Amino acid sequence: MADNTNWYVVHTYSGYENTVKATIEKYVENRHLHDVIREISIPLETVTEITERGPKEVERKIFPGYVLVKMVMNDETWHVVRNIRGVTGFLGEGNKPIPLSDEDVAALGVEKREVVVRYQVGDNVRILDGALAGCTGVVEEIDLERNEVRLTVSMFGRETAVDLELGQVEPLED
């Protein structure tokens, strides 16, 4: 049954996001709804604030007043989530919640997709797309968290550093 889960946006009172998330998690545990309510997320970003005492990293809600829930939408799950204190409703028309597309969820960074990199620092790689498609370069740095790879590409007789997404390059076969 978990195969037809989708992400839905739940609107909450501002400041109730953490309470709503905790309450949904408690309902899932108590009512054994693990197979229909899979994940609850509050999209956060880490921001560096400059204070009198120096820089300080703070997590901020990207969408205050919203919680994302990955679940199978049926009468029971709709009723459980909708009747939690602090929830004002689902994003959608009337009583019909609209699921997020996979592209929307990926853009929000809610679901982390594991990236398998078949190359490492020092390897020669070919650029697959973009302005430098077809060119080759040497991997200088791999940043899995930011989904980026830094290459050194020889252009016009000069070495140039280029930052690309991990999927934009492939290892050269020897």
Contact 66, 17 (CB under 8 A): yes
Residue 54 shares a structural domain with residue 21 = yes
Residue 119 lies in a domain: no
How high is the pLDDT of residue 18? Answer: 94
Residue 143 lies in a domain: yes
- Compute the distance between CA of residue 18 and CA of residue 111 in angstroms, rounded to an integer: 18
Q: Work out the widest C-alpha separation in the chain, in whole angstroms.
A: 66
Residue 68 shares a structural domain with residue 92 = yes
pLDDT digits 0-9 by tens, 142-155 = 987 778 899 999 98
Residue 28 shares a structural domain with residue 75 = yes
Domain range for 54 is: 2-108
Residue 21 shares a structural domain with residue 83 = yes
CATH number, domain containing residue 67: 3.30.70.940
pLDDT digits 0-9 by tens, 49-99 = 766 676 777 888 888 999 999 999 999 999 999 999 999 999 988 778 999
| E-state strands within the chain | 6-12, 37-41, 44-51, 54-61, 66-71, 87-90, 92-93, 96-97, 124-127, 136-143, 148-155, 158-165, 169-171
